[in-house]
Amino acid sequence: MQDFITSFSAFSDQEKLVKEYQKGRLVDDRLKNEDYVVAVLKGKVSVYNENGVLLTVLKKGECYGVSNLLVGSSLSTKLAVIEDSSLMFIKKDTFRAKLKTDLALSNAYNLYLSQKVDFLLKRISLLTLQSSHDRVKAFLEMEDVQFNTKEEIASYLGISRSQYFKAISALKTEEK
């Protein structure tokens, strides 16, 4: 995925807030009762839904809070730092205003959203597979997907850890 945050040079230093977070910390994208776009400058951050299901892992160059930027709704998610991280916060109101005046930022935003839609379509396709065996097999064929633990992989696939291990064992048997 394109490094979207390189286009954030359109924002002044006063419009950006950079904060450091240690592994294990929870991050709120609402600061002082305002919504923010959060960009990962360094490290990794897990995004979970309200049920604790892992949605994605954001790494350097990726953002949170951009998919609902123009609709004004908020998402019920939790951000958890899984590696010491440096995060940049930009107020959503500031971001929306800049999109209206900066063509390069607007184009980069559109490209980033297109890439996110592609990611989501692949994820939906993965989650609609009926068996845990098929989900694990499809996951192993995916490129550029990295997780730190087997629990994260199982959560991402919407299956239990035991289902994950059974599927891995069955796939190893099939290879022989």
pTM passes above 0.85: no
Phi–psi pair at 150, nearest 5 degrees: -65, -35
Inform me whether the pLDDT recorded for 1 exceeds 50. Answer: no
Q: What pLDDT, in 10s, does the model give residues 8-51?
A: 989 999 999 999 999 999 987 777 778 889 999 999 999 988 88
Alpha-carbon distance 141 to 144, whole Å?
A: 10
Alpha-carbon distance 160 to 176, whole Å?
A: 25
| 170: CB partners within 8 A, 6+ apart | 133
Q: What pLDDT, in 10s, does the model give residues 98-145?
A: 999 999 999 999 998 898 888 889 888 888 999 999 999 998 888 777
CATH fold of 4-118:
Jelly Rolls (2.60.120)
